[in-house]
Amino acid sequence: MFPSLNAIVPMACVTAAAIAALMAEAFRVRGERMPIGPLGAIGLVGAALSTWLLWDRDATSFGVVAADNFGLFVTGTLVVVGLLSLGISVPTLDRERLPRGEYYAVMLFGLSGMMLMATATDLLVIFLALEVLSLAVYVLTAIRRQSPAGAEAAFKYFLLGAFSSAFFLYGIAFVYGLTGSTRLDRVGRLMAAQALSPEPLQLVAVGLLLVGFAFKVSAVPFHMWTPDAYEGAPPAVTGFMSTGVKAAAFAAFARVFLSALEPMSAEWRPLVWGMAALTMVVGTVVGLAQTNVKRMLAYSSIAHGGYLLVALVAANDTGKGAILFYLLTYAVTNLGAFGVIAAMETRERANDQIRDYAGLWQRQPALALLMTMFLLSLGGFPPFGGFIAKWYVFSAALTAGDSWLAIIGVLTSVVSVVFYLRIIVMMYMTEGDHLAAVDVVPGPTTAALLASAALLLYLGILPTRVLDWAAASVGSIF
């Protein structure tokens, strides 16, 4: 019996850490500072070790959770997201005096849901994991209870999230009605048997599932919640949900559509092609008009979701590996950028307008240098990981014959450089004497930012090993 539980060990470590954080908060004496954050780090390190030990073992639990290499790669990415999120959260927790136990516990519960979503092989389990991570993100978005913007953002996110969950659940119901199962392997076999003459209800089922996934990955036209949620949430929470949710959702998206629903690719691929093109164009063009850095990065996140959809449309070995490598690179880059935004905030002002970065090079040269690295990586400049990730995605599209999609991706990537360079120019070439001094950056946040920068350079200069892991991982389910 116990070997059958191996596949859930990584998420069990994170869940145990979340429970420990809750208990520590419950028994904490008022005014006493307890090291609750390190409890989360211990759980995530345990998850990382168990992920490494499970590699190449293809463990399964209860027939609905599979610790194959694909899911383990995403689990490892989520461990990185969790560790960096813990580090960049410290300035916000100190400044806002938020309950640490509650904050860390909700974040860790959300991570466990993300890990479950990445490894689930049953549509109902994917839905349950989706709801676990969604509820955690809703709560974190409104964690600043005195912030009207945070409450509004969480309310919008919750309403639209519930709407998309209903679509997803209806899609599962149609799939079950058509195939008599929600297990992805069985669904795939039955879909393949009927692929030559698909029924209208099959198309409805695929469409409903597509809407549910498209909302979670911020694909156009289901992206409306993203800018408000990103702006209203604390910067560390924004970084967490822009990377963790996207990684888990794209892992499940790829597992469902490139495995179980692959026999119907002729029906859904044109829709995803159009969605990818629209997502890249809208995210880039609207991002140019933003003056708030968090909203600008929200539209940047939408555009990056479009690049990931390009890899999904390509559906070749290069594209499948590109999804994994891109998720890791994007997670490291975006968390670093939002870590700088979190460090820039003060008690008096948010410092999240582009003009607030004027003269940052003179006041905080280290933060300016780190932000420059993260922005250049988002723009796809070498020698950072973002360049390799985009090159890998566009190569997959060209190999698959999707030349026009690759051209749209390259053009939007070039245009997006404009709004990244606006911040860089503001930091180095504009006076900013009117700004208040930036608070001292806590040690854990400094460590997280330096780790992000080091990983970006590693992924940009020596990406071969990680690319090989990503390429080898896709064979475990496709």
Max mean pLDDT range (25-39, 40-54, 257-271): 40-54
Asked if residue 221 has a cis previous peptide bond (ω within 30° of 0), the answer is yes
- Residue 439 pLDDT > 50: yes
Residue 388 has pLDDT above 70, yes or no: yes
Give the pLDDT confidence of 54-112 residue by residue, as tens digits: 998 888 888 899 999 999 999 999 999 999 999 999 988 888 888 888 999 999 999 99
pLDDT of 291 over the 60 cut: yes
Q: What is the pLDDT of residue 3?
A: 54
Q: What torsion do the CA atoms of 463, 467, 470, 472 make, to the nearest 10 degrees? A: -140
Residue 147 has pLDDT above 50, yes or no: yes
* Range 281-288 average pLDDT: 94
**Average model confidence (pLDDT) for the chain?**
90
Asked if pLDDT for residue 385 goes beyond 80, the answer is yes
Give me 277's structure tokens.
């093109």
Averaged over 228-254, what is the pLDDT? 93
Give the pLDDT band (50/70/90) at residue 213: very high
What is the reported pLDDT for 349? 78
Higher pLDDT, 1 or 259: 259
Half-sphere exposure of 343 (CA within 13 A, CB side): 27
Least confident of 22-36, 160-174, 229-243: 22-36
Residues 6+ apart with CB under 8 A from 376: 384, 386, 420, 424
Question: How many percent of the chain have pLDDT more than 70?
Answer: 95
Instruction: Give the integer Cα–Cα distance in Å for 114 and 419.
Output: 30
Q: What is the mean pLDDT of residues 447-476?
A: 91
Task: Report the pLDDT averaged over residues 205-220.
Answer: 93
For Cα atoms 423, 329, 278, give the angle at the middle one, nearest 5 degrees.
Answer: 70
The number of C-alpha atoms within 13 Å of 159 and in the hemisphere containing its C-beta is 9
Residue-wise pLDDT for 359-378, tens only, equals 888 888 999 999 999 999 99
Question: Residue with structure tokens 């609207």?
Answer: 286
Residue 108, both tokens: 């860790």
Query: In this predicted structure, what is the pLDDT of residue 1?
Result: 47
Tell me the average pLDDT across 280-309: 94
- Per-residue pLDDT band at 4 (split at 50, 70, 90): confident
The average pLDDT across 268-296 equals 94
| Predicted confidence (pLDDT) at residue 300 exceeds the cutoff of 90 | yes
Whether pTM > 0.85 for this model: the answer is yes
Residue 122 pLDDT > 60:
yes
Q: What is the pLDDT of residue 241?
A: 92
pLDDT at 367: 92
**Residue 473 clears pLDDT 80, i.e. is over it:** yes
**Is the Cβ–Cβ distance between 182 and 122 less than 8 Å?**
yes
Query: Which 3-state string (H, E, C) describes the chain?
Result: CHHHHHHHHHHHHHHHHHHHHHHHHHCCCCCCCCCHHHHHHHHHHHHHHHHHHHCCCCEEECCCEEECHHHHHHHHHHHHHHHHHHHHCHHHHHHHCCCHHHHHHHHHHHHHHHHHHHHECEHHHHHHHHHHHHHHHHHHHCCCCCCHHHHHHHHHHHHHHHHHHHHHHHHHHHHHHHHCCCEHHHHHHHHHHCCCCCCHHHHHHHHHHHHHHHHHCCCCCCCCHHHHHHHHCCHHHHHHHHHHHHHHHHHHHHHHHHHHCHHHHHHHHHHHHHHHHHHHHHHHHHHHCCCEHHHHHHHHHHHHHHHHHHHHHHCCHHHHHHHHHHHHHHHHHHHHHHHHHHHHCCCCCCCCEHHHHCCHHHHCHHHHHHHHHHHHHHHCCCCCHHHHHHHHHHHHHHHCCCHHHHHHHHHHHHHHHHHHHHHHHHHHHCCCCCCCCCCCCCHHHHHHHHHHHHHHHHHHHCCHHHHHHHHHHHCCCC
